[in-house]
Amino acid sequence: MLIDFVPTVGGLLLAEAPALKKAAVNVAVGISGLGGSLAFIGKVGEDEFGICRKLWHSFCPDARTALAFVTLRVDGECEFSSFCNPGTDMLLCELELDMDLIKKGSIFHYGSISLIEEPCRSTHLAAMNVAGKIW
């Protein structure tokens, strides 16, 4: 899982932002808020962001949860500062997937950042193949 920190106001340095919102699982949160049934597959580290690890599909004691800080410029464009070396989001392996859970779903949603690095790339491609539905 990659946790994004996005300022609530644009045109400021991150240190000047009055608040930050976390955007990584907003799709899942939105579906849940609308009463939908969902499952989230992700991987977190043994750190402050992985503290709720019982909620996540996979836990990695050897890496930290990946973070991205987003700066919103005055012109509306975003600049990203990522902190992972590697982060747990890139270490999810196919053997950790619950393929039966994926088959049961009517929608399979993923973030394209998961297609950048191995083993996460092959893991997501395998999940997409099992889901059979790409949105």
pTM: 0.72
Decide: helix, strand or coil at residue 30: helix
Report the pLDDT value the prediction gives residue 123, as an integer from 0 to 100: 94
The predicted-structure confidence for 81-121, as pLDDT tens digits, reads as follows 888 778 888 899 999 999 998 998 888 888 888 898 999 99
Report the pLDDT value the prediction gives residue 22, as an integer from 0 to 100: 53
Q: Residue 7: is the preceding peptide bond cis (ω within 30°)? A: no
Spatial separation of the C-alpha atoms in residues 37 and 64, rounded to whole Å: 28
Right CATH for 2-131 from 3.30.470.20, 3.40.190.10, 3.40.1190.20, 3.40.50.170: 3.40.1190.20
Task: For residue 127, name the pLDDT band (cuts at 50, 70, 90).
Answer: very high
Report the pLDDT value the prediction gives residue 89, as an integer from 0 to 100: 84
The predicted-structure confidence for 1-55, as pLDDT tens digits, reads as follows 666 667 777 887 666 666 655 555 677 777 888 888 777 788 888 877 776 655 5
The residue ranges of every structural domain in the chain are 2-131
Report the pLDDT value the prediction gives residue 16, as an integer from 0 to 100: 66
Residues forming a β-bridge with 3: 67
Report the pLDDT value the prediction gives residue 122, as an integer from 0 to 100: 96
